[in-house]
A = this chain, B = another copy of it.
Amino acid sequence: MGVTIKDVARTANVSVATVSRVLNKKTNVSEDAVNAVNAAVEELGYNPNYLGRDLRKSETRRILAIVSSMGHSFYSDVLIGMERAARANDYDVLVVTNNDDPVHEMHLLGMLFSRSVDGAVLLAPKLDAKVLSGLAENYNIAVCLERLDNCKALTVTIDNVRAGRDAVSYLIRKGHKRIGLISTEIRSQSSVDREQGYINALKENGIPVESEYIYYGGYDHESGVKGSAYFLGLKFPPTAVFCISDTVAIGAMSAAMACGVKVGKEMMFFGFDNITFSRVFKPHLSTVEQPCILQGKTVVEKLVRNIKTEDPLERDNGLYMLPHSLILRESTNDSR
């Protein structure tokens, strides 16, 4: 079990060096040799053992992408962008899940430390900024979709503060004064930033920030339902709600509708992510769109460049913020 380059060499009546040269399309090989080797490869059904090759060349041409779970749909687009950029540079992308567990995330990064991949992209880092900064000094690590405060590692994301501000400013321009926020208990940097954007927008417009208009839940549909229920129980419920994600927003809208609230008229909702269902669920949800594919493409391109620079001090560990956009639909009483 296991045809090696030696077997091919023997069958083709050449040396292993020649076989290797043919397989790697080197120039100095006679036509006869090429034919003999190819015939032998065919006959024996030979596949080079990459463990040997990778060990010798000490590169694997593989990039690890660490997500928190496979379910989140917007990872999908980021991964598509990563895939494309990777393929264009002759890399493969391997996806693994950290299960929201920093210990497991470290275990997965072991693939990087142990040279089983050439670089890693964290799409939902669970390790803290300090640890990651340290690792990024020695390994090719990048963060995407998230930003970590004081993290000296290549990062590609959007400006979540601005995005939150833009969404809430839009609601204010629509005339709303009592604006609710459904955020997450888990203090991921993107949630914190979007929250900051919410606060900034209110302050810029002279609206006081009231803690009773902020509800903390999880990332799921259920949290939206609960948030809405909470708001509707207030003496003066908000007339517009900014939600940390579309999934939450859809939960919030459905709960409000179940209470007889006319969404888009009596109460507006703004989501985040532009998931597929945001334009399936009725009323269609206004939301913030991230350039997912572009983020994926960008992070891989920059990471590959880092992998190629031999001097670790020359590595790019900058923070890149790509432009977001607002998508206006029925939940804010806009067309479509």
Contact = CB atoms under 8 A, between A and B. Distances in A.
Given A277-B277, A280-B251, A110 B51 contact: no
A58 B70 CA distance: 29
A274 interface: no
Give how many copies assemble into the complex. Answer: 2
Contacts of A281: 277, 280-281
Q: Which of A83, A95, A110 has the most CB of B within 10 A?
A: A95
A280 B45 CA distance: 51
A49 B108 contact: no
Nearest to A1: B312
How many chain A residues sit at the interface, stated as a range, is 35 or more
Contacts of A108: 92
Contacts of A183: none
Interface in A64-92: 69-71, 73, 75-76, 79-80, 83, 92
A96 B97 contact: no
A322 interface: no
A51 B115 contact: yes
A73 B87 CA distance: 24
Contacts of A170: none
A39 interface: no
A216 to B, nearest CB: 21
A169 interface: no
Contacts of A250: 280
A260 interface: no
A95 B96 contact: yes
A259 interface: no
29 contacts: A1-B312, A47-B114, A48-B114, A49-B55, A49-B114, A49-B115, A50-B111, A50-B114, A50-B115, A50-B116, A51-B51, A51-B54, A51-B55, A51-B60, A51-B114, A52-B55, A53-B114, A54-B116, A55-B55, A70-B79, A71-B73, A71-B76, A73-B73, A83-B97, A83-B99, A92-B96, A94-B96, A95-B96, A250-B280
Given A51-B115, A52-B55, A70-B80, 6 more contacts: A92-B96, A95-B96, A250-B280, A254-B282, A277-B281, A281-B281
